[in-house]
């Protein structure tokens, strides 16, 4: 749903930034990869802002925003770790699923490295277990570019929401 909303906003005004506000405990790896793909494909810059928490997939999307436009509120928290999955079936099935999981892990870690500027080896080591970051630590690591200090930095622009429209005089 978020990917389609991003595309709808991009078709409304290809030159306007899109603000993606994140308060997320995490989510689906395939979904986050699809959203990141759309963020990279649309002509608009996507600014990201963490409002409280950006855990796991939330961290991934936070750092996927346009360089210079990734922000956090001062007391926000970011969590990075490697994805997990339930694996089952025959020995052959388990081996195939484990290979796919390793491929997905390597893809995600490579993209985080690209977005943060950190070497993939550091991303790998830092993500072996849950790793928590304050807003300042997220800035130092490269997940974000700034910590919000005043409302003007994040004030919404006058942009219609996808799927909603207001007709003047309705109900009068």
Per-residue pLDDT, 170: 44
CB count within 10 Å of CB 97 equals 15
Per-residue pLDDT, 83: 85
The residues, any chain, with a CB within 8 Å of residue 58's CB and separated by 6 or more, are: 22, 23, 24, 25, 26, 27, 50, 78, 79
Residue 12 lies in a domain: yes
The residues, any chain, with a CB within 8 Å of residue 92's CB and separated by 6 or more, are: none
Residue 103 lies in a domain: yes
pTM recorded for the entire structure: 0.86
| Distance in angstroms (rounded) separating the CA atoms of residues 65 and 85 | 26
List the catalytic residues.
56, 81
Closest by alpha carbon to 49, among 149, 147, 132, 136?
147
Range of the domain at 39: 2-153
Q: Give the max Cα distance, the chain.
A: 68
Segments in the chain below pLDDT 70: 157-172
Residue 171 lies in a domain: no
Residue 172 lies in a domain: no
Residue 58 lies in a domain: yes
**Overall number of domains in the chain:** 1
| Distance in angstroms (rounded) separating the CA atoms of residues 52 and 64 | 17
The pair of structure tokens assigned to 56 is 């796991």
Residue 168 lies in a domain: no
Give the total residue count for the chain: 172
CA dist 21 → 59, 62, 65, 98 (Å): 12, 9, 11, 33
N-terminal to C-terminal alpha carbon distance within the chain: 33
The enclosing domain of 94 has a CATH number of 3.90.226.10
Tell me the per-residue pLDDT of 61-95, one tens digit each, with 9 for 90 and over.
Answer: 999 999 999 999 999 999 999 988 888 899 999 99
Per-residue pLDDT, 87: 86
């Amino acid at each position: 749903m978020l990917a389609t909303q991003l595309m709808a906003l991009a078709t409304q005004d290809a030159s306007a930034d899109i603000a993606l506000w994140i308060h997320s405990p995490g989510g689906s790896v395939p979904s986050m990869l699809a959203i990141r793909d759309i963020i990279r494909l649309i002509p608009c810059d996507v600014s990201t802002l963490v409002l409280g928490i950006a855990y796991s997939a939330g961290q991934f999307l936070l750092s996927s925003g346009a360089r210079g436009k990734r922000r956090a509120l001062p007391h926000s928290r970011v969590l990075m770790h490697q994805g997990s999955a339930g694996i089952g079936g025959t020995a052959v099935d388990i081996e195939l699923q484990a290979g796919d999981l390793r491929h997905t892990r390597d893809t995600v870690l490579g993209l985080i490295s690209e977005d943060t500027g950190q070497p993939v080896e550091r991303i790998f080591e830092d993500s072996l277990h849950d790793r928590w970051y304050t807003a300042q630590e997220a800035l130092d690591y490269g997940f974000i570019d700034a910590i919000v200090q005043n409302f003007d930095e994040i004030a919404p622009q006058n942009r219609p929401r996808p799927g909603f429209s207001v007709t003047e005089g309705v109900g009068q």
